[in-house]
Every structure is written in structure tokens, then in C-alpha cells.
Amino acid sequence: MSVTDISHRKKFPAQGNIYLPHIVVIDKIIEETPSVRTFHFNFNFKDGKLRKEFTFESGQFAELSVFGVGEATFCISSSPTRNDHLECAINRVGLVTNALHRLGVGAEIGFRGPYGNTFPLELMQGKNLVFVGGGIGLAPLRSIIWNVLDNRDKYGKIDIIYGARSPADLCFKYDLDSWNRDKTVNTIITVDKGDKNWTGKEGFVPAVLEQAAPSAKNAVAVVCGPPIMIRLTFPVLEKLGFTPEQMITTLEKRMKCGVGKCGRCNIGNLFVCRDGPVFTYAQIRSFISDEY
Amino acid sequence: MTNKKISKKDIGKLLEGWSREFTVFVPSKDRGVTEMAKWDGKDTGFFEWYRNTVIPAKSSFLPAMEKMFSFQKDTDGYHLELSQDQQKRILFGIRPCDARAIAIIDNVFTDSYEDPYYVSKRKNTVLIGLNCTNPYDSCFCTSLGVKPTQSVDVDLMLTDIGDEFSVEEITDKGKELLAAASVVKKATKADDAKAKTVTAAVSGMVKRKVDTKDIAKKLQACFSDKDYWEKVAANCVSCGICTLLCPTCYCFDICDELSKKQGTRYRRWDSCGFSIYTRMPMENPREEKWRRVRQKVCHKYEFYPMNFDVIACTGCGRCIRLCPVNWDIIQILSSVPAEQPAKKKVVSEKDVSYRY
């Protein structure tokens, strides 16, 4: 896909009012870190039909709303292979996320989605996979990691390299534990700075990745994390022999509508909401913009 | 095709007839700023003063503030109630540039996901154009392929030929509307000739020109020329007027309003001129003013044509007329450097360090 190529955009069938959210109910809240909580939710009885029909793919995002406060964009952090409920990991940083954190189990929120493109799972089949995550960047990665692990025989070797600022900032510790126990996966967890109880690795994600040196042969790397980490990870992957086509990431932009209308998430002529959020490094490099 | 005509003094009768079935909107200055507003049922004096409205006709389809739905909470949880405007409407007196602008933004609201609010209003509205016979000094429509007098993008087009309007039927929707109106007469050959004379006279009245050929290519070449964009943005005060009142700007924000246990979700015009427009908790890709000005210019003349094959500008001149600091899009488009200064990588790696 070049910058001008918009041929992949499909015409969506009429699906009623695109701005009208579905009502979902919070089932469970997990305290991940001091500022991150994972919300498990499900469609309520009013949307019973949808509960059965709803599907999404790893990489897609949704617009969650707290009625009376507003709407914000979150990636779906659960895997479509475990479709009995949906999960979003939410960092408390702004108006809507603060309001979400004030909600408890049983509260109703608005849900629009799923929107955006997906991780290229078909292309990844039969390949070795390297997942590189930092901080809350594990949220979108987690969806695809479980997706892949639930179809383990379709993929080759799997490396997961995940880091956070401190042991307290590690998200999804229960998942990290189960990946650690999984003998078919090579999981490396690192923190920038450990505390007195920390026995694991210390060091920045790009450096740990360089040390681990996963082979680029027949491999795909998926990188999600804070922009600075992604920026420093790509050169390391290049050094390891990955081509720009073998590196995949997701971009983050402020969004309102999620469907390519409200305007703010553009990079050049592309809209991150509709043409992304998943891009290869090759695509990002071809953007004429310096705005991502 | 033979035209029809209507006497100016019969316009009131004509609108009155239509009012029975439609809500009729005409140019008005009742609120202190000219806009298309609901006809009061008697005043037809607007063609004496009307050149073009300050608030573009897009506001009839994408209002400055629009209720999307309301929500209410009871013991059963939240209930949402859709809000959709289904009234049949006539916009009377829309200028060719604004009609073109609506046709341009139709692309956005019908692309991929269809926007229900915009599309339903669009379907329920008959556009009646009034050819422009008195363009402003700041108008440059002819550079964007729009003529001050033309017969596209509307259902009926009127041309001022003295004591009468010559009426051209463009769509079936328009034809139907005329069929029921008894005050509309058949135009004579002399009337048609008069209309032609008017058209010919106006085409030379749009004085300002800008070369839009290859503009997308030129803008692409100077995209990272930070020096150029800083110069261009220097006097901009980020008030957002040039985008909010632009007939082809369509960006919007979605907000909630709450009172007790009931609330409203509405959308309202937003502008890429404001830094909050793209602000995220950790970073903002367009914090600096020059990036926002660049976005505005490039979106209209480079990105939009890449997506929809048409420049998102009709040369209505509002952004020039209404700018508080005399920012002039024509000057900017004419001064885009033809080629990137050799080997000058202006946006350095350091500038984008907080990005990827």
C-alpha cells in the first residue's frame, strides 16, 4: 500500500446509525497497575442478538463511552478466539479514562465498533513470530498473542519480549505467568529499573531484544508500545535482519468518530481509524508525513 | 431547453406555496450574521442585499451544533433515543460555490460508513440556486473550476435578469417543485438572451486568480519545508475562522452534555486550527502552529484530491474575507516553492524524536 493507494477501503453495508453505541455491562475489573485497569464487559440483555453475532479481529479498536462524559478510543485487548466477553485495558490519563476508572462492576457503558484494520494473521501463518511490547502497549499485542497461542500449530517459533518501567507497571501479570509456563513460547520480561523483590531482567526493551537476537528468517515482528520504544526498536530489528515489510506496529491518534469522518486522525490522506491502526514499517516509512 | 421565469414580486407567493409542504430557508441577517435561516413568511427583500452568506450552506446539513441522540438512565439502565431531522426543506438562494461545496463534502459523508444525520437531511432538501452577479473582491472561484453562474449541483437555478428571475430546471426534483407553482411562466427568447448576457458579464468580475494545476505535487514536495510553513503560519492567530466558516470543511467533535439523569450526545464543528484537536494525553502531533496551518492547506489541496479526486475548495473567498489577520490562501498557494531546496532536510530527526 502506497500513500495514494486507498483501494483497500471497502464500502460498508448500511448498518443503522453509526454513531449510536451499543450498551455493554462491565462484568469484571482487574487492577493491572496503579493507573491501568482491565475492564471485562459484555453486551447486555437488550442487545442479546448482537451478543451472538458480534465478531472482531485482533488489532481492531472500539469507541467506549461513559454517558455524560464522552467517548474515547481503545484497542480491544482480548482475543477473538475467546469471544464470550470483551476486554479493554485502560490507562487513567484523561477525562473519559478517569470516568471509566470511577465505574464499578455492573455499570453500563457505550460501545461502538469494532473499527479499523487487523493484524495480518494470514500472512503470519507458518512464520516465526516476535512480539515486542512496552507498558500498556501489551494491550493490542495480547489480543494477537492469545489468538496465535489458541491456534498454536499454525505458527512457528514464538518470542515475546515485554518490558515496563518498573515491576509495578507490568500489565497482564497473569498472562505473563502463563506465557512463562508455556514451553512452546520464549518469554522475556524486563523492567527499566527493578525493586528489591525483583529477580528478573533489567534493561530497556530494545536492548533486551538485541541481546535475545531472534532470527529474522521467515519471521514477523509485531511491535507495540510507547512511541519512543517503537522508534528505538525498529533500528534493532533492522540490525537483526528484519526488512521493513516484516515489522508491524499500531499507530495511535486522537479519534472521535472512528469511521473516517471527523478528520483528526489523518496522516496525509490516510485515516488511522479507517486505514489503520495496523501498519507495517514499510508503510509508515512511505508516508510523506512527519506527523506520526 | 427552454427556461422558465418568475417575476421578483411573485417570489413571496412562490415561497408561500412551498411553505405548505416544505420548511423554506432563505438568506437572512436576523441574527446579525448572514446565513440561511427559516423564512419568516413575508420578507423577500434579501436579493437586494444578498451577495453570499457568512455562514456557509453546509450548516444546513452539518449544523454548527447537532444533537445526535439523548440518553436517559432509569432502574433498567440506559436508554438511548435517536434524534433525526426528517423535515422536508428547501434552501432558496444558495450560491453556485456553496452548492459545489456541498457536492464536494457529500463524498465524505457517503463514503464507507454512511453518515445518517447528513444523508437524511441531504435527501430531504431541495437546493434552489441563485446565480452570483456580484462577487466579492476576495472571490477566486474561477480558479477552482466553479463559475459564478453555472447550472450544476442544484435542483433549480435562478438568474437575476432585472425585474424577473430566469429559472432553469436541472433535476426532476426541481421540475416537480415548479410544476405546482402557478406564478412561474415560460421564458421568452428575449429572457434567455438576457440571462446569457448576465452570465457573460459576471464571468469577468471574478478578478483574483490562482494556478491550481499541479498544486498537489508542489505541496507534496515542500511538505517538510519547515521554514516555508513557519513563514506562512507566522501571523496566524489560530482562531479557526477559515476552517469553521469554510464551506468544504467538515471536521467535527463529539461531546456529551449532562443534566441530572438525562443527557445529550451532540456533535459540533471542530477545526484543525486548534491544537487541542489532535492532542493526546502523552503527545500531540500538531502542537506547533505551522504544522496545523500546513495540515489545513495540504488537506484541502493535496490530501482531499488524493481521496476523492477533487480539491476541497471552491474559491468562495470566505477564508480571505473573514480572516482577522488578512491571511491569504491565494498568496500562499502562489508562493509554494516549486521545488524542495536542494539537500535541505528541514524536519530533522530531532524534530520528530517524540514520535516514532
Domain ranges of chain B: 4-41+71-203, 215-339
Q: What is the pLDDT of residue B344?
A: 46
Pick the CATH number of A121-286 from 3.10.300.10, 3.40.50.80, 3.40.50.970, 2.40.10.10: 3.40.50.80
Flag if A261 and B302 touch (Cβ within 8 Å): no
CA distances from A174 to A30, A84, B200, B283, B339 (A): 11, 19, 77, 30, 56
* Chain B residues touching A235 at Cβ < 8 A: none
A260–B113: do the CB atoms touch at under 8 Å? yes
Residue B260 has pLDDT above 90, yes or no: no
> Which residue in the set A17, A262, A274 is minimally distant from B112, CB to CB?
A274
**Out of A20, A249, A261, closest to residue B108 by CB:** A261
| Higher-confidence position of B240 and A276 | B240
The residues spanned by each domain of chain A are: 22-115, 121-286
Residue A1 has pLDDT above 50, yes or no: no
The partner residue sitting opposite A259, judged by closest CB among B112, B295, B307, is: B112
**How far apart, in Å, are the Cα atoms of B218 and each of A204, B58, B144, B302, B340?**
42, 29, 16, 9, 9
CB-CB under 8 Å, B281 with A259: no
CA distance A20 to chain B (A): 8
Inter-chain contact B355–A6, Cβ cutoff 8 Å?
no
**What pLDDT was estimated at residue A48?**
66
The whole-number pLDDT of residue A8 equals: 54
pLDDT at B351 over 50: no
Quick check: A257 and A19 in contact, CB under 8 A?
yes
Summary mean pLDDT of chain B: 89
Q: Residue A177's pLDDT is what?
A: 94
User: pLDDT digits over B79-104, tens only?
Assistant: 889 887 789 999 999 999 999 999 99
The dihedral sign for the CA sequence B200, B203, B207, B210: negative
Is A19–B68 a contact, with Cβ atoms under 8 angstroms apart? yes
Q: Is B70 on the interface with A (CB under 8 A)?
A: no
Say how far apart CA A67 and CA B70 lie, in whole Å. Answer: 10
| Region label for B195, one of left (φ > 0), alpha (ψ between -120 and 50) or beta (otherwise) | alpha
- Mean pLDDT, to the nearest integer, of B16-41? 92
B contacts of A280 (beta carbons < 8 Å): none
Q: Hey, are the CB atoms on B355 and A292 less than 8 Å from each other?
A: yes
Per-residue pLDDT at B83: 81
The answer, yes or no, to whether residue A13 has pLDDT greater than 60, is no
- Tell me whether residues A256 and B252 touch, CB distance under 8 A: yes
Q: What residues in B contact A264, CB-CB < 8 Å?
A: 251, 270, 272, 277-278
Examine the pLDDT at B350 and tell me if it is beyond 50: no
In chain A, what percentage of residues exceed pLDDT 70?
Answer: 91
Residues A94-121 pLDDT 10s? 999 999 999 999 999 999 989 999 999 9
Say what the pLDDT of residue A190 is: 95
Q: In Å, how far from its chain's centre is CA A224?
A: 7
Shortest distance, CA B312 to any CA of chain A (angstroms): 13
Asked if residues A65 and A95 have their Cβ atoms less than 8 Å apart, the reply is no
Query: Is the pLDDT score of A66 beyond 70?
Result: yes
Contact map slice: B 114-173 vs A, CB within 8 A: 114-117
**Distance of alpha carbon A223 from alpha carbon A230, whole angstroms:** 7
Residue B307, all three cell numbers: 481521496
Give the model confidence (pLDDT) of B1-13 as tens digits: 568 999 999 999 9
> Is it the case that residue A34 has pLDDT exceeding 80?
yes
pLDDT band, residue A50 (cuts 50/70/90): confident
B73 vs A contacts (CB less than 8 Å): 67
Q: Copy the grid coordinates of residue A163.
A: 518490558
ipTM of this predicted structure: 0.88
**Measured between CB atoms, which of A254, A269, A284 is closest to B278?**
A254
| Cβ–Cβ below 8 Å for A261 and B285 | no
Pick the closest to residue A81 from A175, A158, A151 (CA basis): A151
pTM equals 0.90
Position of cell 519547515? B226
Asked if residues B26 and B15 have their Cβ atoms less than 8 Å apart, the reply is yes
Which comes out higher in pLDDT, residue A220 or B162? A220
What rounded mean pLDDT belongs to chain A? 89
Identify the architecture of domain A22-115 in CATH.
Beta Barrel (2.40)
DSSP letters, B183-248, are T-EEPPHHHHHHHHHHHHHHHTT-------TTHHHHHHHTTT-HHHHHHHHTT-----HHHHT-TT
Taking CB atoms and an 8 Å limit, are A264 and B281 in contact across chains? Answer: no
**ω into residue A277 within 30 of 0, thus cis?**
yes
B278 contacts A269? CB cut-off 8 A: no
d(CA B76, CA B258): 19
Query: Which pLDDT tens digit goes with each residue over B92-147?
Result: 999 999 999 999 999 999 987 889 999 999 999 999 999 999 999 999 999 999 99
Q: What is the pLDDT of residues B264-279, one digit of tens each?
A: 999 999 999 999 999 9
Q: Which helix (H) or strand (E) holds B334?
A: helix B329-334
Q: Determine, for residues A71 and B68 on separate chains, whether the beta-carbon distance falls below 8 Å.
A: no
